[in-house]
Structure 1
Amino acid sequence: MGTDDADSSTPTGQFSKHTETTAVGAARHLGAGRRMAGWLKAVTWIASLALLSAVIFAGYWFIRLQSNLSTAPLNAGSTPTGTINQATDRMQILILGSDTRDGANAEYGTSDDSTGYGQSDVMMLMDISADNSRVSVISFPRDLLVTIPECTDQKTGEVYPERSGAMINEAMAQAGIGCAVDTVNKLTGLEVDHFMMADFNAVTELSNAVGGVEVCVSDPVYDPDSRLRLPAGNSSVQGEMALAWLRSRHAFEDGGDLGRIKAQQAFLSWLTRKVTGDGTLSDPVKMLRIADVVTRNLTLDEGFASPSALVTVGSRLKNIDVGKVAFVAAPTTQSVIDPNRLDLAQPAASQLFAALRDDVDLTDPTGTESPTPAPTEVPTTPAATETTPAEPVAPIYDKALQPVSVANGSGVPTRYQEIATALIADGFTQLGEAAAVPAEQTVIYYSAEFADVAADVAALFGIPDTQLIASTSVYGVQLNLGADFATGTQYGAATLPPDVVNQTAGDVVCQQVNPFLIDRG
């Protein structure tokens, strides 16, 4: 008995009792450890569930937005020269509004009101600079007469021959959106990277999604054709009234296309200010709602048709200065072959397209991208201060007797007269017009005995010496104008037409109502 008592009091016995005897239970510190392990498991389970939910949510929206998108080929005959980085390169997007009456658009007319792929009711070229500091939006009137290049319907393989004197909004009606892209490329000398085409329904749903867009008219207006009815002053339009604003062809100014374009640009200006001013582009919930609306009613080219690409473009625009979003209308004049149609106004249109090709900031009145750097100061030396600059040496020949001809290969019909006027003003009065073929680069050809005359002609226009070529095929001097000298009288210098920018997104503009559509009742 004594031995049993002694054994039961030993440390070994106590340790055995705590670890093995079920009647006593587990040690207190081991129970706390098990409770902690359970708490950690719960937290881990909740975190995993939250992460899984986020992944499912993101996946759901990606699949939904991706499935919303419709696609079409970028071109209908021309071949792009390369691809761009959508996050860092200069990007040009052709924005089209289709007048198709299919599906949800049936209430705006029957399918007979639009043929083939539908006509482009709105056509704007958005040009985003590489550094995201500015955006230019160029509108093309639907009644503008252009040359539509040969286009191949990418679905059927049917080839449509080149057409001259066709309305620009007909470009996609037969061969698809890619034909509209090729037409704009041919017209401007630019290369469109992507396109976005929306239908009537997109406008109504988008304006609802952003809670309305502010517009302004000078007088009460009622347009029975578009059903636009607004009081004078500011109004918030959405749904059907927003669409009526964009569709109205006669409500503004003199009832022509330019008034319609200005109203469309004003709408986009107000929309730009709204989405950048209320933080929409930084609000995931708002962006998802808008993205869902937009993608359901949007057709894009295959290289642009992904939610990530659209997000990339949106992120590029979210911090832009609204004063650097320039809205421009292609310069036009009444057509010489049809008073109800428009032609490009020259040389203003060529000046605008040349400035765009040169990536000029259209909001800068000087047409320069940035201020010219101040010249570097060179320390003067006694020898330098004593040297008198040489006076220009006058030609040793009579300019009025020198045979100078101009071959206009620039593609701009008015260029011969512009250059001839500059030559005559400088004293070269013995002028002729030579036969020309389209050329990319400007070159001056001269016969050997007229090298000094050729040099002076080059200096007059700022043409580099490397573009002077001696030739036995000409007598005297022949200035061959290329597409690189389509505007102005100084080679390589972009010249902008006056008042080229209608407004910026920072401007608040009230539209002048067509006097015949003022609502007086």
Structure 2
Amino acid sequence: MSDLRDRSGRGRRAARPVEASFRRRPAPSTTGVARHGRLQRGGAVRAVTKVVAASVAVLLVSGASVGAIAAYQVRSDLGTGVELQAAQGETTKPAPPSISEYEGGFNILVVGTDNDADQDQGAFGTRDATLNDVNILLHVSADHSNATAVSIPRDMVVPIPSCAKEDGSGYYSAMAARPINEAYSYGGLSCVVSTVSSLTGLDIPFAGMISFNGVIEMSNAIGGVPVCAATPITDRYTGLDIPAGESVLSGADALAFLRTRHGVGDGSDLGRISSQQVYLSSLLRTVKSADTLSNPTKLYSLARAAASNMTLSDRLTKIDTMVQIGLALRDLPLDDVNFVQYPGTTDGTGVYAGKVQPDTAVANQLFDAIANDVPFSIPEGSTGIGSESTAPAATEAPSATTPPATDDPSAPTDTAAPADTAAPTDPGTGAQTSAPTTEVIEGLTGQTAADQTCSVAFGSK
């Protein structure tokens, strides 16, 4: 598709305020993500801070409470320290305040780039600009009882606001319709955040960016991620070649699985997203499993791999914030973590031809629910074009009027409803109230972290 606007036509606008969380100092146009093993000098405190900061990287990649595990583990490893007794005539200093979990809800954006200057260009190809090809917005509810990770298709055409140039020389002009994966080239991570915030109507105070190398190192650190393929999947573009059934993927194979588009679904980015959710949900289940939780070495390696391959917004590099977020997420149930796709279609015309057109009606329902912390569910069987559920078909529930079978036919049958099935009552008035319901958002695709799903090969669904 030809450019909708020639970049040479960008004009400068009067500088507008930039969110404090993402204000950046002028930097060279080619900035690489920190590599494994590069720790700046500055003592143990700085080193520990970076390791704890890695927990959010784990959180972002998995899309849910993985970060809680790593943050809490590192904080626990530090222990309470040795209590020092005051010398005679001195008074002891009060203990520092304990760090509690993060208060209220929050949003974190994870961005996956495809052209990091530090990675092996021969392995992944070379492009003219760095693109934000993966954009996952994680929302955690105010009561920390549920979370939603929204994957935004890289080819979705959206407005891009006026963003500050990274070299501090001014601002790019706002654009009405550009593929969202161009946002990074118009102002780096800060511009991606501004674009997603404008698109969703949500404030995004935290963000992080990870490269291809980061995905490889993290999958290695955890010992591989089990993924299911409904049929054999091959993709000559990424080198993916896996049989039907379960495969444990790590390193380059894990990256190839996440990158494959031609090998799954309908060959579009929408099919790739639903296939990626097979991996992300399995990654979360793997990290929360006993094999990982009981292995401090594995947890530490996972955090270090993330720390060495991720760039975080400034507020995420603060150890207090990291631990607060971790504590808020440590007990989040898998059933209450939704992986969903930003609603869209590939059937658009005009500026949307060959791209993804947002489905604003369904998107408005989704983000209204997120903004107001209204629990919602995904329609049954709506995993998306690139995956399918492995759950057995539901069986018919027994009739409520049919008495249960007993070994003694002469035994009386109690047909009265159990006391605990009565409708709930209002504690103030005593009046019966209806049981809480979960809104089903029709047209939404995705799965929960607990759902067992398999990727499907191109053209097989």
TM-score in same-fold range (> 0.5): yes
Any idea what the Cα deviations from partners look like across 1:299-330, whole Å, max 9, x if unmatched?
Answer: 11111114554344333333211011101111
- For residue 118 of structure 2, the aligned residue among 103, 108, 121 is 103
Matching residue of 2:358: 344
- Within 5 Å, which residues of 2 pair with 1:188-199? 188-199=200-211
Match of 1:40 in 2: none
Distance in 2 separating the partners of 1:60 and 1:151:
31
- Structure 1-normalised TM-score? 0.58
Of the three residues 284, 299, 302, the one matched with 2:314 is 302
TM-score normalised by length of structure 2 = 0.65
Residue 144 of structure 1 aligns with an amino acid whose one-letter code is: M
1:65 is the counterpart of 2:51: yes
1:292 aligns with 2:278: no
Report deviation, 1:222: 1.2
Give the Cα separation in 1 of the matches to 2:429 and 2:107. Answer: 42
1:463 — aligned with what? none
Unaligned runs of 5+ in 1: 1-55, 72-84, 366-371, 381-492
Q: Deviations over 1:320-353 (max 9, x none)?
A: 1101110111111232214211111131111112
Matching of residue 207 in structure 1 with residue 193 in structure 2: no
- Whether 1:512 aligns to 2:456 is yes
Q: Which residue of 2 aligns with 1:134?
A: 146
Question: Of 133, 136, 142, which residue of structure 2 is paired with 1:124?
Answer: 136
**1:159 offset after TM fit, Å?**
0.8
Question: CA shift at 1:512, angstroms?
Answer: 1.2
* SS of 2:119 mapped into structure 1: helix
Separation (CA, whole Å) in 2 of partners of 1:373 and 1:68: 44
| Amino acid corresponding to residue 356 of structure 2 in structure 1 | L
Alpha-carbon distance in 1 for matches of 2:329, 2:430: 45
The residue correspondences of 1:114-513 to structure 2 (distance < 5 A) are: 114-115=128-129, 118-278=130-290, 280-281=292-293, 283-333=295-345, 334-337=347-350, 338-363=352-377, 374-375=425-426, 497-498=441-442, 500-513=444-457
The structure whose residues are more often helix, as a share, is 1
Larger deviation, residues 294-303 vs 345-354: 345-354
Cα deviation for residue 378 of structure 1 reads 6.2
Equivalent pair of 2:378/2:444 in contact (CA under 8 Å)? no
Q: Do the aligned partners of 2:377 and 2:441 also contact (CA within 8 Å) in 1?
A: no
Q: 1 CA distance for matches of 2:357 and 2:154? A: 11
CA drift of 1:496 comes to: 5.3
Distance verdict in 2 for CA 1:502–1:109, change over 3 Å: closer
Give the letter aligned to residue 259 of structure 1.
G
Deviation sequence 1:352-385 (CA, Å, 0-9, x none): 12111111222388xxxxxx974578699xxxxx
What amino acid sits opposite 2:107 in the alignment?
Answer: Q
- Corresponding residue SS for 1:319: coil
1:93 counterpart (108, 131, 152)? 108
Deviations 1:423-446 (A, max 9, x none): xxxxxxxxxxxxxxxxxxxxxxxx
Letter in 1 for 2:339: F
| Residues 65 and 307, structure 1, Cα contact 8 Å, conserved in 2 | no
Counterpart of 1:49 in structure 2 is none
Deviation string, structure 1 residues 249-293 (Cα, Å, up to 9, x no partner):
121111111110011111110000011112635654332211111
SS at match of 1:126: strand
SS of residue matched to 1:150:
coil
When structure 1 is superposed on structure 2, of 192-201 and 274-283 the one drifting more is 274-283
SS in 1 for 2:145: coil
Identity of aligned residues (%): 33
Q: CA deviation at 1:110?
A: 5.0
Deviations 1:6-51 (A, max 9, x none): xxxxxxxxxxxxxxxxxxxxxxxxxxxxxxxxxxxxxxxxxxxxxx
Give the AA of the match of 1:200. F
CA contact (8 A) 1:252 1:511 kept: yes
Shift of the 67–123 alpha-carbon distance from structure 1 to 2, 3 Å rule, reads closer
CA drift at 1:494: 11
- Aligned letter for 1:351? Q
The answer to which of 128-137 and 280-289 deviates more is 280-289
Q: Secondary structure at the match of 2:227?
A: strand
Aligned residue for 1:235, secondary structure, equals strand
Q: RMSD of the alignment, in Å?
A: 3.2
- Distance in 1 separating the partners of 2:116 and 2:310: 15
1:99 and 1:114 in contact (8 A); partners too: no
Give 1 or 2 for the bigger CA radius of gyration.
1
Contact 2:142 2:373 in 1 (8 A): no
Q: Which has the higher contact order (CA 8 A, sep 6+)?
A: 2
Give the stretch that moved more between structures: 124-133 or 494-503: 494-503
SS in 1 for 2:456: coil
Partners of 1:220 and 1:269 in 2: how far apart? Answer: 20
* Contact 2:54/2:303 (8 A) holds in 1: no
Provide the C-alpha distance between the structure 1 equivalents of 2:290 and 2:53, rounded to a whole number of angstroms.
Answer: 29
Instruction: Output the CA distance in 1 between the equivalents of 2:365 and 2:339.
Output: 16
User: Are the structure 2 counterparts of residues 57 and 318 from structure 1 closer, same or farther at C-alpha, using a change threshold of 3 Å?
Assistant: farther
Change (3 A) 1:86 1:315: closer
Query: Could you list the per-position Cα deviations for residues 64-83 of structure 1 after superposition, in whole angstroms to 9, with x for gaps in the alignment?
Result: 638999x9xxxxxxxxxxxx
Q: CA deviation at 1:101?
A: 3.7
1:174/1:123 Cα in 2 relative to 1: closer, same or farther (>3 Å)? same
What is the 5 A alignment of 1:7-46?
none
Unaligned runs of 5+ residues in structure 2 are 1-41, 58-99, 380-422, 432-436
